[in-house]
Structure 1
Amino acid sequence: MITIKEVSELAGVSQATVSRVINGSDRVTDATRTKVRNAMESLGYQPNSAAQSLASSRSNTLGMVVSSLDGPFYGPVMSGVEEELRLFNKHVIIASGHGTEEGETNAVQYLSSRQVDGLILLTECLDANFLLALNKKIPIYLINHHIEGLEHRNMWLDNEGGSYLATRFLLEQGHTQIVYVGGQPHKQDANERAAGFKRAMKEAKIAITKNSIERTTFEVEGGIAGIEKIYKRGIPFTAVVAGSDEMAIGVYEWASNNGLDVPNDLSVVGFDDVNLAYYVRPRLTTVNFPAYEMARASARMAVNEIYKKLPPHGIEFKTNLVVRDSVKPRT
């Protein structure tokens, strides 16, 4: 078995320096760290994770709670966290909350019992009081969520601004009969996206009623159900702003089933810019959500605070509109 002593001899440094590199200490220069890691790789040395944990009182593992493990949105988020942590020789355990308060609470409790060093949360149902109390017990880092009192631990998106951009684009293309389908009212990002739609319509002095807005779920089925409900109310519309790309694809399906063509009969704008948005036909015009970058930033913030003792600071990510083929100007 290769030992720290052999690594130190090959690298030309002390055993204490090798130990600092293994434990992620910032008391080592980049050049020395590279020299030690090259020696470890050359010898095939594998640090003993259990010994590391005992020496540092850290598990070198973070927990992550997501609402769901499936769908095109969560994959890039989980990948972003895992890839960023791997750069620092840290690991992640992921648990799903299944989109319910009970499920998310159970996931937090499970991960805490695994003695993770911190929690990265992309949740939908945990309220501010729960999160504030949890942060007193273990460092938490929030993705796409902002809580007063935890601003320094938030990585959040300008959801309202993104939906505003989407609606403004349709207005600029001559559409005035625009409806909105979005996620459930208990979700912060869903409410913010609905608010962006309302703000753009109000600025354009176009009256909207509750019949022009339907709140269901962010999934494909939610898009189908939402636009069907608006249609049955007899509301005329030439364009739809969807609260997610999956919902937009549901609108595509509904249009096809009702003999309508996108974009000739109906223009559609989504939100998230998941990979699928580029491959559906017509390619979906949508609001970009930098979920992968946001996830990496959250993981980096956790590493910097927990292992390097650097103060955390939150970041608001801005959106931009990705114009493709699902909108046709209204003449």
Structure 2
Amino acid sequence: MATIYQVSELAGVSLATVSRVMNNNARVSDKTKEKVLSAMAELGYQPNAIAQSLASNCSNSVGVLVSELHGPFFGDMMSAIEQTLRSEGKHAIIASGHSNADTEQASIEFLIGRKCDALILHVEAVSDGYLIDLAAKGVSFVLINRYIEQISTHCICLDNQQGGYLATQHVLDLQHAQVAYISGPSWKQDAQARLNGHKLALQDADIAFDSELVFEGDYQQQSGSAGLDALLGTGKAFSAIICANDEMASGVMSRARELNLTIPDQLSIVGFDNIIYARYLYPTLTTVDYPIFQMGKMAANYILAKTYDKSGLVLRDVFVPKLEVRNSSQLLS
């Protein structure tokens, strides 16, 4: 197995210069870098990543913690992060937290223990206090879809309240005055904000909020189906239903067909997220666009700028949702 000493000898440069090339140090000229890389290729030399990280105090790896590893939402986010980091020679180490405080904390500690240079976190259950302490300890991290005032510079957020408002305003503009709502879990910050937006849109239209027309779901498809049954079971009339994510909206659509309810003639439906299959449902789903790919890319850019001193990146911390109008909603006849 070739050694760094053999690379140094063949390239005719010092050990320090070889080390600078392996760590992408800008102080090495292109000509010298080419000599070192050619020597490494000729000898089949493979740098020892562990030794490199010990020597440079930089592992070139970023820990990424998401709630789940399945589904198009988190798939888009992880893809954006990995692509952006890889383009700059950094690698993602991915873990999941399953929306459980203990699991999220254990996963964060695992990623820190793996000597990740920084963390990108989509966490929902671990406490604000824990994350504030993490920042105080000097851990470099970015939060996606969570806002904590004391560490606001670590947060990249969607305006979820505005998204909830847009969804409800849309059906109100279509003359639906009786609007039902299926929320996400009430303990989640984004679910609270989306429901608040729904309430505010009703208030601005001088329509009283009716808590009986709200069902608390869990962001899973089956809770959309259960939510439609529960809302119909109240005996209260409604001509439109807003769902706090697209998975629950697809559950509503499936159950509505089983009940022979025609969409959108008898029931208009609006989702939230604009995940890939929203445009392939039948009818195609009107939804609020959640730019999670762009937010994942921005989180990676924050890490590149703040942890790796990458210059020239345009950074933003708040994203604004947009309504994507399709065929699942229509003017009330």
User: Residues 1-331 of structure 1: matches in 2 within 5 Å?
Assistant: 1=2, 5=8, 19-20=19-20, 22-25=22-25, 27=26, 36=33, 40=37, 44=41, 47-137=47-137, 138-308=139-309, 315-331=317-333
Unmatched tracts of structure 1, length 5 or more: none
Count how many residue pairs are aligned between Structure 1 and Structure 2.
Answer: 325
Q: What is the deviation of 1:19?
A: 4.5
CA distance in 2, matches of 1:50, 1:92: 16
Percent identical residues = 37
Which whole-Å deviations, capped at 9, do the CAs of 1:213-238 have from their partners, x for residues lacking one?
11121110121122221211112111
State the alpha-carbon separation in 2 of the partners of residues 76 and 179 from structure 1.
29
Amino acid at match of 1:49: A
My pick for the range that moved more, 129-138 or 150-159, is 129-138
Deviations along 1:28-76, whole A, 9 cap, x unmatched? 59xx679958984897475442232122112221111111111221111
- Partner AA of 1:143 in structure 2: I
Deviation at 1:22, TM superposition (A): 3.8
Give TM-score, length-normalised by structure 2.
0.88
Q: Residues 153 and 313 of structure 1 are in contact (CA less than 8 Å); yes or no, is this contact kept in structure 2?
A: no
Range with greater deviation from structure 2 (308-317 or 66-75): 308-317
Distance 2:215 2:30 in 1: 55
CA change 1:157–1:41 in 2 (3 A) is farther
Cα pair 2:298 2:315 within 8 Å, conserved: no
Tell me, in whole angstroms, the C-alpha distance in 2 between the residues paired with 1:68 and 1:206: 37
Equivalent pair of 2:221/2:250 in contact (CA under 8 Å): yes
- Equivalent position amino acid for 1:122 in 2: H
Deviations 1:134-166 (A, max 9, x none): 222322210011111111111100111111111
For the structure 1 residues 225 and 136, does the alpha-carbon distance in structure 2 shift closer, same or farther, using more than 3 Å as the test?
A: same
- In structure 1, distance between residues paired with 2:172 and 2:31: 55
Provide the rounded CA distance (Å) in 2 between the counterparts of 1:140 and 1:248. Answer: 33
Decide which moves more: 15-24 or 185-194. 15-24
1:299-320 deviations in Å (ceiling 9; x for gaps): 1111221122879976101111
- Distance verdict in 2 for CA 1:35–1:180, change over 3 Å: farther
Inter-partner Cα distance in structure 2 for 1:81 and 1:211: 40
The letter for the 2-side match of 1:95 is A
Contact 1:8 1:36 in 2 (8 A): no
Q: Deviations over 1:227-251 (max 9, x none)?
A: 2212111121111111000011011
Q: Secondary structure at the match of 1:259?
A: coil
Assess if the C-alpha contact under 8 Å between 1:153 and 1:314 holds in 2.
Answer: no
- CA distance change for structure 1 residues 303 and 238 in 2, over 3 Å: closer, same or farther? same
TM-score of the pair, normalised by structure 1:
0.89
Q: Tell me the C-alpha RMSD between the 2 structures.
A: 2.8
